[in-house]
Amino acid sequence: MAVLVTGGAGYIGAHAVLALLDAGEAVVVLDDLSTGVRPMVPEGVPLVVGDVANSALVTRVVGEHGVKEVMHFAAKIVVPESVADPLGYYDANTMKTRALLAAALAAGVERFVFSSTAAVYGEPDLAIIDEDAPPAPINPYGRSKLMSEWMIRDAAAAHGLDYAILRYFNVAGADPKGRAGQSATNATHLIKVASQAALGLRPALSIYGTDYATPDGTCLRDYIQVTDLADAHLAALRNLRERGGRHTFNCGYGRGASVREVVETVKRISGIDFPVAEAPRRAGDPAALVADATRIRETLAWEPRFADLDTIVAQALAWERRLGNGAEPVRATG
């Protein structure tokens, strides 16, 4: 019995694949490679290139690999892009999740772990956000994910599906063993972009908005290391196997770092004072998003191993150096 990982050739999905393999799980990846990178899928792991909305394909993969569990990562994730192309985001994130759910349920899938986002909260008035905060997304990306959450909940109530919805805050870093990292050519993650600027792969870094109601005027975010996040998915899946249920979890560390703090950390760790320019705010960016992660820690006994900004930045820099040298990811199975 294999776990189906959609988007398993992408940044977070690839790290989830590694966590599953390290735990001795069988895995099959479904990815259309629109943003995913084929070498991110370890050798020996079946990679099916295709669309999660292709019901016939999903039915075949589930049947051939004995799939009873799905981890669904495939999505579009860039907030400003969602503002410019809302219908594209509702298609990729909402309609395709609906098609995947329908095919998975019809084929007998019993457990579903969903990649959601803190963007569903919008701009809450809380300094620290727990899962009971009312969702009020301010951009199409967040709305597309919230709609998917609603569908999962309704489908679970109707069909007996067990699920875990994981709302990520800001994901960063790379696999400590160098097997995976952020490889998309058009990535917008701050730590990746700053690392590229430090290594001369970008001419400069732009800070979008310096007039937010935060201590230094720049956006405040809760950065979670990607391997810790992958471990949270594995813990969520194990909990569903052992106890069943329907859960929503925040994934973060409970503390924020501003854009300026991240930039200064990358400069200090890299030893390079790269150019930084100030730019207007981007559409759809909230001022601050910091997680209350009490529920996931208590329910899943999840304990992060890399909850340190210096460590996360050092991992990101090491990965960018590897990519900058033209090397592929280490295609290992564990």
pLDDT in tens, 258-285: 999 999 999 999 999 999 999 999 888 8
Nearest to 11 by CA among 31, 308, 22: 31
Res. 216: pLDDT tops 90: yes
Average pLDDT of the segment spanning 131-157: 97
Res. 330: pLDDT tops 80: no
- Range with the lowest mean pLDDT among 122-126, 154-158, 167-171, 213-217? 122-126
Q: Give domain 2-173+224-253+292-304's CATH superfamily.
A: NAD(P)-binding Rossmann-like Domain (3.40.50.720)
Average pLDDT of the segment spanning 99-118: 98
Res. 327: pLDDT tops 80: no
Average pLDDT of the segment spanning 90-108: 98
Q: Where does residue 95 rank: exposed (0-12), middle (13-18), buried (19+ CB within 10 A)?
A: middle
> CB under 8 Å to 132, separation ≥6 — which residues?
none
Res. 332: pLDDT tops 50: no
Average pLDDT of the segment spanning 188-197: 93
Q: Are strands 288-289 and 2-6 parallel, antiparallel or unpaired?
A: unpaired
pLDDT one-digit tens code per residue, 5-19? 999 999 999 999 999
Res. 202: pLDDT tops 60: yes
The residues carrying an active-site annotation are 141
Both tokens of residue 123? 């701009």
CA distances from 285 to 10, 80, 221 (A): 23, 8, 11
Q: What is the pLDDT of residue 329?
A: 46
For the chain, the structural domain boundaries read 2-173+224-253+292-304
